Structure 1
Amino acid sequence: MNNGVEPVKIGIIGLGRAGYGMHCKELRDKTNLFQITAGCDPIVSRMETLSQEFGSKSYERIEDLVNDSNVELVDIASRSNDHFTHGMMALEAGKDIVLEKPMTLNVQEAEKLVETALKKGKNIYVRHNRRYDPDFLHVMELINSGILGEIHSIKLSRHSYNRRNDWQTLKEFGGGQLLNWGPHIIDHALCLLQSPIIHIWSHLDQILAAGDAEDHLKVILTGENGRIADIEISGAVALPSPTYQINGSKGSLSLIGKEIRLKRLHPDVQFQPIHADPETPPQIGNFNNVEELKWVEEVIPVSPAIQYDFWDELYRSIRFRESFRIQISEAMDVVKVISQVRRNTRFES
C-alpha cells in the first residue's frame, strides 16, 4: 500500500493490554506502513519484550521518547487519566499523536489538546476503532439503504457479568464503563442518530465491580431529527440483549453475534390512508386496524459491502494527507456527551 513511501515511525507510551495487546498485535502485519521505533512503560520487562520483537528503543522517561527524532507519531496507550498529560508532552515536542480512547477525561482537557495541536500545526487522531467494526458498518449500510424506512429508535447494548477489580474500576485512573466501552458506543450512537443531540438522560450505578467507578449505565440521547438512541453498558447483566436493535417505519433489525435478523415490509406494500375512528369499538374482536401486510423476514451474516481499517486510514492520512474518517470534532462530541452524562453524579471526576 505504501507505494514506496517509507513507514511512519511510531513510539508507543504504555505497553499493556491496549498498547501491546491490541496496537502491537494489529501492527505486526503492517510493517510496510508503520515501524515501531520506541516504547515506554514503567515495567521494564514490557519494554524488553517490545525491543526484542520490533528492535525498538526503550525509554524510562516519556520526555525522552517524545523528543526522539526517530519518532514521528506518538501512540498514547497509557492509563486514561494520563492521556491529557502525555498528549500535551508529545504535541509540545512537535509530534502528531494517536490517542487510545477515551480521548481525555473531560471537555476542558480535550479543548486544550486541540488548541495546542492547532498552535503547533500537529494532528490528533483518536482511536475510535470500533467505527470500523464489520457489524457497525453493516448496520449503517442497512439504515442508509432505506429498507427500514424512517428510523425512530436505536438500542445499543454491551452486556457482560463480571466482578471486575482492576484499575478500570477506580475513578482516579479514569475507570468505569462510561470511559471504557462508553466512547465506542456513544460514538456509534452519534453516527446512527445522524443528528445533533437536543437532550440527554442518564443513570449510572455500581453493582458488581470493585472500586468506586460505575459498572452499569443507561444513557438515552434524543436527536434533533426525533431519533432516540438508548445505550446500555453493563458488567452486571447475565443474559445479554442484542448488540444492535434498530426500528424504523418499515421494519426492524436486531444483531446478535455475527447474525443480523431483519423483519421488513415487502417493497410491494403501499400504505393506504387511515383515519382515527372516534366510535366505540366492538366488545369482542380486533381493536387494531385490520390490513394485509406482507413481510420479508431473513437472517443474514454480518458482511458489509465495504470495510475499512483504522491503521490503513491513519497511514494514508499521515503520508498522503487524506481526510481521516474520525474527525477530531466527532471525538470532541463524544467527550462532551460523556462529561454531561457524569455531571452531578457521584461518579463525576
Structure 2
Amino acid sequence: MCRKLKVGILGLGRAGRYMHAPELAQYPELYEIAAGADHAPDRRENLPPEFARARLYPSLDAMLADPEVELVTVATRNADHTPHAIRALEAGKYVVLDKPVAVTYPQALELKAASDRFPGKLFLRFNRRFEPAFNHVRELMATGVLGRIGFVRVYRHPGFVRRLDWQTLTCFHGGMLSNWGPHLIDQALQLLEAPVVDLWSDLQHNVAAGDADDQVKILMRGANGRVADVEISTTATLPGPLYEVRGDRGSLVVPVEEKIIRLRCLDPAQKLGALEAVPGNFPLAYGNPDEALKFIEEEIPIKPACGRTLQRGRVLAPGETPDPAGGYTSQDTMWSFVHRAITRGEPYPVTVEEGVEVVRVSELARAKSGYVPHESALSGKGC
C-alpha cells in the first residue's frame, strides 16, 4: 500500500486553487491536502472542495510549524518562490516549487546551494515536461526518422488576452517570459540537446495592462548547430502550431489542437547519394531532375498521458479538446513522479541543475532583448 503524503499548499490564489489542488486531488491514494496558507484573509475563504479537511494558516511560518505537513508546494508570487522554498527546506519539508523557480540567476544559485544542503528534498514544477505531445515528439526525434535535426520550434499562443493582474507588472517580475517562458525554455533546451552557445531575443508589450512583456521571441543555437525557436504571445488571434521539428530527412508538426503529429519524411529505404554543385549551365528545371524522392506522410495520434489533463481544475475527458476560452491546462502526471521520488527514491525527471539553466537562459534572453517598458504603461503603479 502506498504511503500517503500530507501536503501544505502555500499561496491560495489562482495557481494554488485551480492548478496545485485539483492536480493533487487526482491522486487521493498518494496525497492528502492537509493544510493551506495565505497572508490574505480573503484567499483563505470560499476554497474549493479539495481543501475540505485542510487546516488554514495566515503565514508560511505557521504552516511550517505543523508537524503533519511533510511536503510544501509553493504557489506564491514570483519573487517569493526562492525564499519560500529555502525556508521550507530549512524547516525539514519536501518542497515542490512552481515556476519561475528564481527571478535572477544569482537567486537560482542560492536555490541550488540550498538543494545541495538538503538533497532529494526539492522538486521543480516543470509540469510541461510531462505533456504527451512534447514527449511523443521527443520519441519520434530519437528514432532517427527525421535524420539530422537542424531546427526545432516551440510555440504557445494562449489567445488574445488583455491581462491586467499583477503578472503584467515588471516590479513583480511579471510578463510572459516569467510566466510561460520557463516551461517553453525548458522544453526547448531538451529538444536542443546541447548547451546554448548563442542567443537572440525580443520582448514586446502590446495589449496587456502594466509594463511587462506580453510577446516573447527567443532564438537559441546549440553547440551541436541546432537552432531552437521559442515564441510566446498573448497578442496572436490565430495561434500557430505548438511544435515543429525539421531534419535532413523530414519534418513533423504538432497543430494547436494537440491531437495528432503530422509527419512527412523520406522513405527509410530512400538512399541519398553525394551531390556535387554544377557551376555551368543547368537544365531548365528546379532542384535535381535526376533524382526521384519518395516521401511518407502520416498523421500520428498523440499518445495519451499516463495521468490526466485538467483545465481550471476540471478533468478533461480522453480526446477532449480544451476550451480556448477556458484558461490554463495542466498535467497531473508530474505528481506521481514526485511521490515515487520521495517514497521509493526514484530519480525525479527534472533536475535542479536543469532548472538553474532555465533561469540563466531566461535572464540572458531578457538582457539580450534590451526590453524597456513602454512610457505609456503603468510602469510600477500598484507595486
**TM-score between both structures, scaled by the size of structure 1:** 0.93
Partner of 1:292: 292
CA contact (8 A) 1:87 1:97 kept: yes
1:217 is matched with 216
CA RMSD of aligned residues (A): 2.0
Partner of 1:38: 35
Q: 1:158 to 1:95 in 2, by over 3 A?
A: same
Structure 1 partner of 2:363? 339
In the alignment, structure 1 residue 309 sits paired with structure 2 residue 310 = no
Contact 2:204–2:371 (8 Å) recurs in 1: no
2:204 and 2:109 map into 1 onto residues whose CA distance is 28
Question: % of aligned pairs identical?
Answer: 40
Distance in 2 (alpha carbons) for counterparts of 1:130 and 1:299: 23
Change (3 A) 1:121 1:184: closer
1:193 corresponds in structure 2 to 192
Partner of 1:281: 282
Match status 1:25 vs 2:49: no
Match of 2:343 in 1: 319
State the alpha-carbon separation in 2 of the partners of residues 241 and 66 from structure 1.
44
CA deviations 1:286-330 (Å, max 9, x no partner) are 142121011111212211697792000000001111100011111
1:163/1:209 contact within 8 Å kept? yes
Q: Which residue of 2 aligns with 1:272?
A: 273
Structure 1 segments of 4 or more deviating over 6 A? 305-308
- Name the residue aligned to 2:201: 202
Residue 45 of structure 1 and its aligned partner are, at CA, apart by 4.6
Q: Partners of 1:51 and 1:214 in 2: how far apart? A: 32
| Cα deviation code 1:183-211 (max 9, x no counterpart) | 11001101101111111111111111110
Q: How far 1:121 sits from its partner (Å)?
A: 4.6
Number of matched pairs: 344
State how far apart, in whole Å, the 2-side matches of 1:51 and 1:23 are.
12
1:140 alignment partner in structure 2: 138
Does the CA contact (< 8 Å) of 2:112 and 2:356 recur in 1?
Answer: no
Instruction: Tell me how far 1:85 sits from its aligned partner.
Output: 2.1
Q: Distance in 2 between matches of 1:30 and 1:305?
A: 15
Give 1:144 deviation, angstroms: 0.6
SS of residue in 2 equivalent to 1:198: strand
**1:242-253, aligned counterparts within 5 Å?**
242-253=241-252
Q: 1:155–1:121: structure 2 CA closer, same or farther, 3 Å change rule? A: closer
In 2, are the aligned partners of 1:117 and 1:124 still within 8 Å (CA)?
A: yes
Structure 1's 96 and 306: CA in aligned 2 closer, same or farther, altered over 3 A? Answer: closer
Asked if 1:176 is matched to 2:200, the reply is no
Question: Which is further off, 310-319 or 236-245?
Answer: 236-245
Amino acid paired to 1:180: N
| Displacement of 1:122 | 5.7
TM superposition score normalised by structure 2:
0.85
- In structure 1, the partner of 2:77 is 79
Q: Return the alpha-carbon distance in structure 1 between the equivalents of residues 32 and 133 of structure 2.
A: 30
Deviation at 1:12, TM superposition (A): 0.7
Q: Which amino acid aligns with 1:328?
A: V
Q: Where in structure 1 are there 5+ consecutive unaligned residues?
A: none
Runs of at least 5 residues in structure 2 that lack an aligned partner in the other structure: 308-331, 374-379
Structure 2 residue aligned with 1:14: 11
